[in-house]
Structures are given as structure tokens and as C-alpha cells.
A = this chain, B = another copy of it.
Amino acid sequence: MISQLGARISQQFAEHLQPFGLRPAHFGVLVRIARDEGQSQQQLADHVGVHRNVMVSLVDDLEERGLVERRRHPEDRRAHAIHLTEAAVELLPRAEEVAAQFEASLFADIDPADHALVLDVLRRVSERAGLVPELHPALIDSRRPAPVDPESC
């Protein structure tokens, strides 16, 4: 159920972001850049939970949309330092407001205390499921619980 719900939420969130010319992944990347400007693409990929190959095209898209800049990284000549443009600084709060309204609409008939509890529990379940945003992907696999042996049932 969580999987199906997640897929539909992502689909609907994509519709909400369409007027901005963004997909959910773009939004996630922008939020991460805003939290800490000048990160490398590799760092962003780790934080968002995608492979660095995917980050290339995400940053490509955002650069074409005029929302981010690839600058020279001050410490590592291999890496880019990714920064928001002024257009992004203007756009991001509006997109975040749409996201907040969307979440509110989903939980519209849910008691606010229950809403908060659900998000807190899901956050803890996410960690248990190996979804640790701050963790390097290479470390995630070892945290995955091993599948159950079907013969033992």
C-alpha cells in the first residue's frame, strides 16, 4: 500500500510542479542546494539518494531552466560547485508553498496530531528501511535487512 500510495503521490506532485517546469526530483535537488550552496554533484547525488550519473542530467535540466549554475569548485578541480540563480531563489519558495498545500490537501481530513505522528513514524521506518538521506549510497546496502528464507514458513 505504501508503495502504491508513494507512486500516486509522486505522480500527483509531478502535476503540481508541472507549471514550474519541474519534476519531483528537480524540486528535491533545488531544496538540497538551497540548504547548502556550492555542493558538488556527487554530494547532491548522495543527499538526494540517486546515482551521480542521474545527477548530471538533473543539473543539466536545471541549468537549462536557468535555475542553477555550475561554478568552479574552490577546492577540487574535478568537481563543480552548484549554486542557485536568482530565478531559483525567487521560484523555490513558491514551489515549496505548492508542496505544502499539496501535503495539506492529502491530509485534509486527518487529525493534525495523527498527521504529525504518521510522518514521524514513516521517518523512522525510512531509516530502518535503509533510506538515510545523509548517508552515502555505498553504505546503504549493508544496512538492508536480509530477506526472509521462504522455506522456513
Query: Residues of A with Cβ closer than 8 Å to B?
Result: 1-10, 12-13, 15-16, 18-20, 24, 49, 93-95, 97-98, 101-102, 105-110, 114-115, 117-119, 121-126, 128-131, 144-145, 147-151, 153
Asked if residues B150 and A94 are in contact (CB atoms below 8 Å), the reply is yes
Known: A128-B106, A148-B98. A3 touches B4 (CB 8 A): no
Most chain B CB within a 10 A radius of its CB, from A3, A19, A98: A3
What residue in chain B is nearest A28 (Cβ atoms)?
Answer: B4
- Residue contacts A-B, CB under 8 angstroms, 30 given: A1-B123, A2-B2, A2-B6, A3-B6, A3-B10, A4-B126, A5-B6, A5-B122, A5-B125, A5-B126, A12-B129, A12-B144, A12-B147, A16-B148, A19-B147, A19-B151, A95-B150, A97-B153, A98-B147, A102-B148, A105-B128, A105-B145, A107-B121, A110-B121, A110-B125, A115-B121, A117-B117, A118-B118, A118-B121, A118-B122
* Number of identical protomers: 2
Asked whether A24 and B5 contact (CB < 8 A) given A125-B110, A150-B19, A153-B94, the answer is no
Query: How far apart are A29's CB and chain B's nearest CB, in angstroms?
Result: 13
A130 to B145, CA, bound (A): 32
Given A15-B147, A19-B150: A8 touches B129 (CB 8 Å cut-off): yes
